[in-house]
Amino acid sequence: MSGNGSGKPKFAMCWAASCGGCEIAVLNTHEKILDVDANFDVVFWPVAMDAKYKDVEAMPDGAITLTLFNGSIRNSENEEIAHLLRRKSQILVAFGSCACEGCIPGLANLSSSKELIETAFTGISTDNPQDLRPAYSWKAPEGELHIPKFYPVLKTLDQVVNVDYYMPGCPPESHQISAVIDLVIQVLHGQGELPPAGAVIGAGNSTVCDECQRTRNVKQIKKFMRIQDIQADPSLCLLEQGVLCNGPATRSGCTALCPSAGAACIGCYGPAEGVLDYGARLISAVASVIDSQDPDEIESILDGIPDPAGMFYRFNLAGSLLRSSKAAWKTNGNQ
Amino acid sequence: MNNNEQFEPVIIGFTCNWCSYRAADLAGTARVKYPPNVRLIRLMCSGRLDPTFVFKAFASGADGVLITGCHPGECHYQEQNYKAMRRFLLLRRTLAQMGIEPERIKLVWASAAEGVKLAGEITKMVAEVRAVGPLNWPVAGNGAHLDQPNPEEVTA
C-alpha cells in the first residue's frame, strides 16, 4: 500500500461490530484489489495496515474520498469512529449487512444486556472460574483505564450517522464489490456518474426468487421441515417443499447462491426494493402459503417454526421497524 | 401522566370495508357506546392487512392493534380473511418474542350486522390493554433515535 502524499484520492475501510468477513470479501476480489491500490491512497484500514485513530483525527474534514464502513454499532467506540469517519469522508458506504441492517450481531437485540453478559461470561463455552465481569474503568498503577461502553440496543450505521450508499450482503459478493470498485474508478476518471444519494449499490432490485433457478408452482404447505430432515427435490422451490426460505423478501444480487447449492435463502442481502420491514414481508409470505383454514391446525403447522423472530429477522432486526425487543430497550432506562 | 388519571390506551383498529367497518358504522347509528380509544382504519379486506402496518403502529406509539374482518366463509374476496387469520397467528408469535404482550393484538370477526358485538369487543380490548399499561415503544417514527444508554445499568 502506498504512503501518504501521493496525491491520489484517499480510501478507508473500517470495521465496527462485525466478523471480518467483509474484509475477506474485499480481498477476495483478487487482482481487483490492485486497482484499488493503483487508484487510491489507502490511509486507514485496520485489518490490512497499521494506522491509528489519531491519524484519521489529524486529517482535514472530508479528506477521505471513499470509506467502506462495515459492522454495526455495538458500543461507544463504534459510534465514535462512525462519527469520525463520517466527518472525514466525502462518501461513506454502509458496507455489508451489519452496517446496513444489524445482521447477526443485531440478533442480540432480542435479549437484555444482562442476559448477553451472563451468556458471554458464564455460558457453557466459557471458562471463567473467578466469575469475572467487565468493568468500564479500572485503576491500574499506571493510571485509570477505560473500555468502550456497551450499548443495550445495537444500532445500524445510519441510525448514528448519515450514510451515502448501502451495499448489502453477508458478506457482499466479490463480483458485486468489483463492479462497485470499477464504477468508483470510472467516476474518478470522469467517465461515470455516482448513483443518487441513499441508493443501494452492488445488488439487484428484485428478489432472490427472481434469480433462483428452481421451479415454482402453487405453494400449499401442511408442515414446515428443516432441510436436513428431508430429501429435497433439487429442482423444485424449497418453500414449496416445506423448507422455510427467505427468498421472497430478500434483495437479489447474490445470484441465488444458497438455493442453487441446496440450502434455503437466509436473507443476508436484506429487504428487497420497496420492502419497509423485512420480517413483516416474510410473515405475510409464509403465512399465506399455509394450507389450512382451521386455527388449531394452523397453530400446529406454525409449531414447525420454532423461532419466528430469529428466522424472519436473522439479518434485519436492528434495521426493522421495532429495532429490538422490549427486553433490550428496557435496559435503556426508558421505563 | 398523573397517577390519578386513568391511562387511555391508543388502539389502531383495522376494519374491513364489507363487514367490520359497517359494523362500526351501525354501532354509531344505533348509538351503541364504546370507548373512543380505538382509531379505525378502513381496508378493503382484512387480507389487505400487511403485517408491516402492525409493526409500524407499535413502533409509532400505539398500545394495541385490533384487526377485524368478515366471519370465516363470508369473505367478500372468497378466502382472504383466512389469510389474515394465518398472518395474525404468526404475527402474534413473532410479537411475543419482541416482548409485546398478547393482549395488545387481537383478531375479531364482525359482520355488518354486528355493531353491538364489535362495540363489546372494543370495550373489552380497551380494558385489557389498559390493564397491561402503556407500551411506549422508544422508536416513534422513522427518524427518532433510541436514547443514549445508561452504562451503569448495563453491567451485570
pLDDT tens, residue by residue, B75-129: 999 999 999 999 999 999 999 999 999 999 999 999 999 999 999 999 999 999 9
Cβ(A41)–Cβ(A10) under 8 Å? yes
pLDDT at A3: 47
Cβ(B140)–Cβ(B61) under 8 Å? yes
| Beta-carbon separation of B147 and A298 below 8 A | no
Cβ(B32)–Cβ(B115) under 8 Å? yes
Q: Which three cell numbers stand for residue A22?
A: 467483509
Taking each helix axis from N to C end, the angle separating B115-132 and B20-29, rounded to the nearest 10 degrees, works out to 100
Name residues 281-310 of chain A within 8 A of B (Cβ).
281, 283-284, 286-288, 290, 292-293, 295, 298-299, 302, 305, 307-310
CA distance B73 to chain A (A): 10
Nearest residue to A28 (alpha-carbon basis) of A133, A156, A181, A155: A181
Nearest residue to A302 (alpha-carbon basis) of A290, A310, A294: A290
The CA-CA-CA angle for residues A266, A267, A270, to 5°, reads: 165
CA distance A233 to chain B (A): 27
- Tens of pLDDT along B4-46? 678 999 999 999 999 999 999 999 999 999 999 999 999 999 9
Contacts of B143 by beta carbon, 8 Å cutoff, 6+ apart: none
Is residue A131 exposed (0-12), middle (13-18) or buried (19+ Cβ within 10 Å)?
exposed
Chain A positions touching B93 (Cβ under 8 A) are 302, 305, 308
Nearest to B147 among A279, A293, A334 (CB): A334
Q: Is the preceding omega at residue A171 within 30 degrees of 0, hence cis?
A: yes
Cβ(A105)–Cβ(A98) under 8 Å? yes
pLDDT at B3: 58
Nearest residue to B46 (alpha-carbon basis) of B27, B74, B25: B74
Beta carbons within 10 angstroms of residue A75's beta carbon: 18
CA distance A121 to chain B (A): 10
Q: Which domains does chain A have, with CATH numbers?
A: 10-104+155-188 (3.40.50.700), 113-151 (no CATH), 208-304 (no CATH)
pLDDT at A134: 82
Name residues 93-122 of chain B within 8 A of A (Cβ).
93-94, 97-100
- Long-range contact list for A108-111, CB < 8 A, 24+ apart? A108/A74, A108/A154, A108/A328, A109/A153, A109/A154, A109/A317, A109/A318, A109/A323, A109/A324, A109/A325, A109/A328, A110/A309, A110/A310, A110/A317, A110/A324, A110/A325, A110/A327, A110/A328, A110/B97, A110/B98, A111/A325, A111/A327, A111/A328
| Beta-carbon separation of A283 and B85 below 8 A | no
A312 touches chain B (CB under 8 A): yes
A149 touches chain B (CB under 8 A): yes
Q: B11-140: which CATH topology?
A: Rossmann fold (3.40.50)
Contacts of A290 by beta carbon, 8 Å cutoff, 6+ apart: A221, A298, A301, A302, B86
Chain A positions touching B136 (Cβ under 8 A) are 334-335
pLDDT at A114: 87
DSSP code for A205 = S
Measured between alpha carbons, how far is residue A157 from residues A71, A132, B27, B51 in Å? Answer: 8, 31, 49, 25
Contacts of B25 by beta carbon, 8 Å cutoff, 6+ apart: B115
CA distance A131 to chain B (A): 11
pLDDT at A333: 42
Best mutation target, A155, A322, A329, A331, to test chain B (most B CBs within 10 A): A322
Nearest to B99 among A114, A150, A326 (CB): A326
Q: Is A307 helix (H, G, I), strand (E, B) or coil?
A: coil
Cβ(A267)–Cβ(A246) under 8 Å? yes
| Beta-carbon separation of B55 and A279 below 8 A | yes
Chain B positions touching A329 (Cβ under 8 A) are 137-138, 146
pLDDT at A5: 57
pLDDT at A117: 87
Nearest residue to A268 (alpha-carbon basis) of A314, A226, A324: A314
Measured between alpha carbons, how far is residue A240 from residues A295, B10, B140 in Å? Answer: 21, 40, 37
pTM: 0.91
pLDDT at B2: 54
Cβ(A18)–Cβ(A58) under 8 Å? no
Best mutation target, A283, A286, A320, to test chain B (most B CBs within 10 A): A283
Chain B positions touching A295 (Cβ under 8 A) are 85, 89
pLDDT above 60 (res B140)? no
pLDDT at B155: 44
Q: Which residues of chain A have pLDDT under 50?
A: 1-3, 333-335
pLDDT above 60 (res B152)? no
